[in-house]
């Protein structure tokens, strides 16, 4: 029988899409489901960005481009990073790709060697592709627990203990998926101090939710003294501009830019040609539609946090960014006899028609931290009210 490699057999996935497929199947069977499981803005791409993409197609921008992107896009990204990150970025330091996700693998492959025991530290819970790509690229995954008592930040002493001579990469995500936590200036400065003692330690700063910070300003670790050289700043159009399907992301680092470019050449050749001109318009054009989206997300955050905290057995912190909440449902599980948050998730889907994700979809549950679910509030106020009403009624009926 033809066999697969161990790498392919062990490759992880993004479980939001797995659950979404189940949701779509239930809907096709006639079930009414309110879904909070996918992290995708429910807004259309702003009109001026769409027009720029159409104009690019109509003007014949159909072929290959340089692998790191057309010069005008790299210049736009450099201006964007310079004005939003508090650092100076030049176009030569910028590489564009088919979304932000490829840069996770490109970076791991660029700074670790297969079979050498090189370690990559990443947040747990966290975006599942971190751990999946670390393993697929032949590095050693080192999850860093996030603590509810710290607003879903990590304990700096725990980080300090995990960093050693084998550590080659630290992945940070702020605002964070799945918790919505935001690293403070003090946290970033403390991380920089830890990292500064290790000459071979890079930092991958996943900043795809940088445009969705609600109670403070966004801060990048690249702006901390001494960190720009070793930080890969990664962002994309997907969340801030409601452009998930346009597949344009960008990263910046002076030393790694040529290597990241070669990875793009080896994989996707270049980002989609006409979409690059839509990206230029997104970054250089009016930001008003994005600011309106952010304000709507902020109002939805307040609505869903308030509603979750009114449900028996649920405790929910208010996240500082992104469009996710990570409520603690430990008591709710006890109340309805669910052995885990994943069992509660399944029951909510099949008994209440509410689709969410569980902590097991974002890594190994952290001992002592209880049970959690993830709700994406990239959905309407009506859907939020309907979903929370269904969950409230489920808890009333299912309570032992």
Statement: residue 12 has pLDDT above 90? no
Q: Please tell me the distance from the alpha carbon of residue 100 to that of residue 145, in angstroms, as a whole number.
A: 24
Give the confidence band of 24 by pLDDT, cuts at 50, 70, 90: confident
Residues 6+ apart with CB under 8 A from 185: 219
- Reference 296, options 377, 388, 175, 219; nearest CA is 377
Q: Which of 42, 44, 132, 107 is nearest to 253 (CA)?
A: 107
Virtual CA dihedral for 10, 177, 103, 99, nearest 10 degrees? 110
Kindly report, residue by residue over 131-160, the tens digit of the pLDDT: 999 999 999 999 999 999 999 999 999 999
Please check the confidence at residue 358 and state whether its pLDDT lies above 90: yes
Q: Which two structure tokens, joined as six digits, stand for 344?
A: 């509660």
Assigned CATH for 47-284:
3.40.640.10
Burial annotation 129-163 (CB, 10 A radius, 16+ → b, else e): bbbbbbbbbbbbbbbbbbebeebbbbeeeebeebb
Tokens of 67: 């692998």
Confidence of residue 296 (pLDDT cuts 50, 70, 90): very high
What is each CA distance from 347 to 62, 174, 354, 373, in whole angstroms?
48, 31, 9, 13
Give, to the nearest 10 degrees, the angle between helix 273-284 and helix 47-58.
140
Position 4 scores a pLDDT of: 87
pTM, whole model, 2 decimals? 0.95
What are the residue boundaries of the structural domains of the chain, listed by start?
6-44+289-398, 47-284
Please answer whether residues 350 and 393 qualify as being in contact, where contact means their C-beta atoms are separated by less than 8 angstroms.
no
Distance CA(21)–CA(85), nearest Å, equals 37
Which position has the higher pLDDT, 38 or 260?
260
Strand partners, 233: 205, 252
Q: Per-residue confidence at 228, pLDDT binned at 50, 70, 90? A: very high
Compute the distance between CA of residue 394 and CA of residue 388 in angstroms, rounded to an integer: 10
Closest CA to 137 of 102, 172, 96: 102
| Average confidence score pLDDT of the chain | 95
CATH 3.90.1150.10 fits 6-44+289-398, yes or no: yes
Element (H, E) at 160: helix 156-162
Check residue 96 and give its pLDDT: 98
Predicted confidence (pLDDT) at residue 10 exceeds the cutoff of 90? no
Predicted local distance difference test score (pLDDT) of residue 113: 96
């Amino acid at each position: 029988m033809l066999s697969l490699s161990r790498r392919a057999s062990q490759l992880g996935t993004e479980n939001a899409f797995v659950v979404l497929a189940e949701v779509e199947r239930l809907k096709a069977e006639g079930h009414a489901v309110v879904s909070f499981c996918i992290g995708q803005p429910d807004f259309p791409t702003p009109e001026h960005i769409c027009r720029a993409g159409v104009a690019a197609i109509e003007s014949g921008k159909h072929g290959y481009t340089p692998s790191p992107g057309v010069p005008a896009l790299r210049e736009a990204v450099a201006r964007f990073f310079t004005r939003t990150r508090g650092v100076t970025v030049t176009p030569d330091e910028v590489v564009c790709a088919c979304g932000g996700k490829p840069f996770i693998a490109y970076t791991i492959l660029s700074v670790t060697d297969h079979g050498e025991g090189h370690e990559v530290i990443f947040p747990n819970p966290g975006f599942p592709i971190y751990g999946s790509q670390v393993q697929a690229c032949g590095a050693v995954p080192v999850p860093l627990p996030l603590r509810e008592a710290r607003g879903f930040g990590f304990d700096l002493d725990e980080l300090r203990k995990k960093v050693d001579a084998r550590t080659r990469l630290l992945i940070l995500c702020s605002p964070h998926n799945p918790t919505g936590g935001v690293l403070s200036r003090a946290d970033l400065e403390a991380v920089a101090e830890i990292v500064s003692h290790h000459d071979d330690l890079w930092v991958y700063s996943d900043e795809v939710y940088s445009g969705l910070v609600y109670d403070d300003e966004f801060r990048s670790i690249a702006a901390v003294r001494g960190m720009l050289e070793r930080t890969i700043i990664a962002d994309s159009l997907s969340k801030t501009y409601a452009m998930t399907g346009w597949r344009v992301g960008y990263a910046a680092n002076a030393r790694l830019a040529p290597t990241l470019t070669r990875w793009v050449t080896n994989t996707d050749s270049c980002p989609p040609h006409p979409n690059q001109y839509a990206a230029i318009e997104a970054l250089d054009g009016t930001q008003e539609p994005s600011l309106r989206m952010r304000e709507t997300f902020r109002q939805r955050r307040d609505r869903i946090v308030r509603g979750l905290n009114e449900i028996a057995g649920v405790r929910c912190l208010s996240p500082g960014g992104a469009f996710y909440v990570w409520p603690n449902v430990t008591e709710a599980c006890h109340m309805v006899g669910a052995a885990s948050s994943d069992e509660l998730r399944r029951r909510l889907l099949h008994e209440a028609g509410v689709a969410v994700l569980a902590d097991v979809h974002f890594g190994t549950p952290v001992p002592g931290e209880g049970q959690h679910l993830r709700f994406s509030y990239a959905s309407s106020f009506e859907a939020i009210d309907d979903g929370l009403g269904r969950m409230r009624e489920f808890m009333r009926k299912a309570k032992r």
